Amino acid sequence: MPDETPPSTTAGLTEEEMRANVVRLAFGGEESQLAEFCEVLQRAIPTDTAAVLRGSAITGVRWSDKAPFDADGPGTSDLDLTLVGNDILSCYNTIGGFYIPGIHSKPLGEAHPDIAPRLLSLRQHLIEMAGRPVNIQGTRDWVMFIREHVMNQPYLKLFGRLDEPSP
């Protein structure tokens, strides 16, 4: 008898739907570009760190006004990358780098360009690879649980724990 277990969803989207959106919208339909992005990222961060994408790259629409991804032109929508783990948080400045000190950072990006000096070259490399802005936030796994299950904010796990399976 075939397995008829429905695919698991995160805030209403399946992992397959989110991954397909990311590949199509952010990487021009090239799965290999997403794979290369993940490889570069994985080599640059602590080993016990998960990486997830959030926002319009996975949903296809902006949260604030429901405009489609890249509504302002090609390459204008950013990638909201969140690195999840304990060690990654040491990359962020203790003063000014956090919304919740030691737990949930601000995103390294245009709005906060100096909060994680050790991640600047990685961010620049990812921007060049993706051809669009990349914001990098650090957080703990339980914050991601709250964002998903309490705040109904989907995310796509690229790699790392977030308590296993995936890719």
Q: Would residue 35 count as lying in a domain?
A: yes
Q: Would residue 2 count as lying in a domain?
A: no
pLDDT (0 to 100) of residue 150: 85
Q: Would residue 162 count as lying in a domain?
A: no
Low-confidence ranges of the chain (pLDDT < 70): 1-11, 164-167
Cβ atoms of 103 and 139 within 8 Å: the answer is yes
Q: Would residue 123 count as lying in a domain?
A: yes
How do residues 4-13 score in pLDDT, each as one tens digit? 444 455 557 8
Distances (CA, A) of 18 to 15, 54, 66, 118: 5, 9, 16, 29
Q: Is 156 helix (H, G, I), strand (E, B) or coil?
A: strand
Distances (CA, A) of 91 to 42, 44, 46, 112, 117: 15, 12, 10, 14, 7
The boundaries of the domain holding residue 150 are 9-157
pLDDT (0 to 100) of residue 161: 78
Q: Would residue 60 count as lying in a domain?
A: yes
Q: Would residue 124 count as lying in a domain?
A: yes
Q: Would residue 164 count as lying in a domain?
A: no
pLDDT (0 to 100) of residue 6: 43
Cβ atoms of 136 and 158 within 8 Å: the answer is no
How many domains, in total, are found in the chain?
A: 1
- Overall pTM > 0.95: no
Residues 6 or more apart whose CB falls under 8 angstroms from that of 1 comprise: none
How do residues 88-98 score in pLDDT, each as one tens digit? 999 999 999 99
Q: Is 35 helix (H, G, I), strand (E, B) or coil?
A: helix
Q: Would residue 141 count as lying in a domain?
A: yes
